[in-house]
Chain A
Amino acid sequence: DTAVSQTPKYLVTQMGNDKSIKCEQNLGHDTMYWYKQDSKKFLKIMFSYNNKELIINETVPNRFSPKSPDKAHLNLHINSLELGDSAVYFCASSQFEVGYTFGSGTRLTVV
């Protein structure tokens, strides 16, 4: 039973399209996150939600919009995709922000 699951695992799409990535955790954690891993493997926080409330919104283009329908789900919607959005996106969850559990990632390729 996967603790943090993301779908889809791979996503190939054309520039200008809109796409969503879904994340669900069954750990009962209060906080969920989206991280972006670039081509050089660098991991950077994008958003953080605590009990469905946005608490961190790093410098991310407003084409990226997170949505948390409940504390077990955090989705990421991306509008007007650009080539530079190609990356691996990781969802994670934590309790008291100590020790995160990561999903297996979504590899987004924009062509």
Chain B
Amino acid sequence: AQSVTQLDSQVPVFEEAPVELRCNYSSSVSVYLFWYVQYPNQGLQLLLKYLSGSTLVKGINGFEAEFNKSQTSFHLRKPSVHISDTAEYFCAVNTGNTPLVFGKGTRLSVIA
């Protein structure tokens, strides 16, 4: 079975500062990795995904993530955040024939 650990439950950051949201996973087989964003009172929107190939994945809204197999990590980064990035961010993993398993989420709060 797969599992996901998001190391920070809350991350406050000033506007225009860089941010990194950390995600580690556990699996005995190869995985697919995802980051989703949930704005207040809304559903989940896919930010980016890693399926195979280049370990640096670029997503929407200026986010990117790097897959590191040796460290079993998939950290999300943005070089300069905006107020509108304030949301809950979820890392998730599956193997292609198992359901998506989510981490507990990281609340990103951007401070003006």
- How many chain-A residues does the 8 Å CB contact rule pick out? 22
Q: For A99, list chain B residues within 8 Å (CB).
A: 32, 34, 46, 49
Considering the complex, which residues of chain A in the window 73-111 have a beta carbon less than 8 Å from any beta carbon of chain B? 90, 92, 94, 96-105
Docked pose: A75 CA to B65 CA in angstroms: 35
Task: Decide if B102 is an interface residue (CB 8 Å cutoff).
Answer: yes
Are B49's CB and A104's CB within 8 A? no
Task: Decide if A27 is an interface residue (CB 8 Å cutoff).
Answer: no
Q: For B53, list chain A residues within 8 Å (CB).
A: none
- Shortest beta-carbon distance from A37 to chain B in Å: 9
Are B102's CB and A42's CB within 8 A? yes
- A interface vs B, CB < 8 Å? 33, 40-45, 48, 56, 90, 92, 94, 96-105
- The 7 A-B residue pairs with the shortest CB-CB distance in the complex, in nearest-first order: A104-B43, A43-B102, A102-B44, A45-B99, A102-B43, A41-B105, A105-B43
